[in-house]
Amino acid sequence: MRAYLAFTKKEFIENLRTYKLLILLAVFLLFGVMSPLVAKLVPEIMQNLGIGGIKITLPEATAMDSWVQFFKNVGQIGLLVLAVVFAGIMSNEFSRGTLVNVLTKGLKRHTVIFSKLTAAALIWTMSYLLCLAVTYGYTVYFWDMGELQHVFLAFFSMWLFGLLLVVLLILGGTLFKTFIGSLLLAGGAVVAMTLLNISPKIQKYNPVTLCGDNTALLTGVKNASDFVPAVIICIALVVVLTTVSVVVFDRKQI
């Protein structure tokens, strides 16, 4: 337990001093501000501009437009930034050879994985909550929030998918020992899930739904029953893939 805390602390120091924490917080803060502002301003600008002398009349923006922007930003570029920032989480240790010292000092190999997962998950959670809080603040300031359905499930789903991404990055880094390997495994998995999503029957089981259809859940177009199976499968994947990482890492020659 002491070794776990010590190594987790080391992970935080690393993320702090190599500016990874700062980058993530800044990017997600930016998205937090941008989402409601874009939702608010774009229609107004379009209306005032008028293209080719034709006056465009857009329906006035609502709180939901702000949430559409939020899920789009976080679910696409946000997750991409998360992946790039954490793609080196395992490979950096392999390529620099920094693990040898700590492992020969008696650090259990599974502790390495659990510490890294803990730190990355906490940093992702902080970034995501910051983004959410800022968007929420602007949205209630600009608009009447109205009736939102399945609020917890909609926001939890996106967070859970981000966690799955972190787990995939750790597994990729453990398997291939490289930054690219980590990114390719996570990217490949997302592409594969997206392709599978073409079949409507699979959608409600597919984790990728958790970062794609959240607004449909908020508006009530989709039901909790369309999301819960994917949530369960995603949680199962997080557990299974973490276990696989531990088992693979135990057998790695260093």
Partner 1 sequence: MTDVLTIQNLTKSFGKETVIDGLTFSVPEGSIFGFIGKNGAGKTTTMKMTLGLLAADSGEITVCGERVSFGQTATNRHIGYLLDVPEFYGYMRPKEYLWLCGEITGLENAKIKSRSEELLKLVGLAGINKKIGSFSRGMKQRLGIAQALLNEPKLLICDEPTSALDPVGRKEILEILRQVKDKTTVIFSTHIISDVERICDRIAVLDKGRLALSGTIAELKAKHKSGGFTATFDAGTDKERVLGVLAENHLQPIGVEETEQTIENLFMEVIL
Residues making contact with partner 1 (CB under 8 A):
2-3, 5-7, 10, 13-14, 17-18, 96-98, 100-109, 250-251, 253-254
Beta carbon nearer to partner 1, 30 or 107: 107
**Four-residue CA torsion sign, 213, 214, 215, 221:** positive
Secondary structure letter of residue 54 according to DSSP: B
Smallest distance, partner 1 to C-beta of residue 97, A: 4
State the Cα–Cα distance between residues 30 and 38, nearest whole angstrom: 12
| Closest approach of partner 1 to the CB of residue 254, in Å | 5
* C-beta of 9 vs 228, nearer to partner 1: 9
CB-nearer residue toward partner 1: 13 or 232: 13
The least CB distance from residue 60 to partner 1, in Å, is: 50
CA distance 189 to 79: 13
Cβ burial 170-196 (10 Å sphere, 16+ → b, else e): bbbbbbbbbbebbbebbbebbeebeee
Nearer of residues 183 and 246 to partner 1, judged by Cβ: 246
Both tokens of 114, joined, read: 């659990």
Minimum Å gap between C-beta 204 and partner 1 is: 40
Strand partners, 51: 54
Nearer to partner 1, 1 or 198 (CB): 1
**Cα–chain-centroid distance for residue 193?**
15
Decide: residue 126, CB within 10 A, 0-12 exposed, 13-18 middle, 19+ buried. middle
Smallest distance, partner 1 to C-beta of residue 87, A: 18
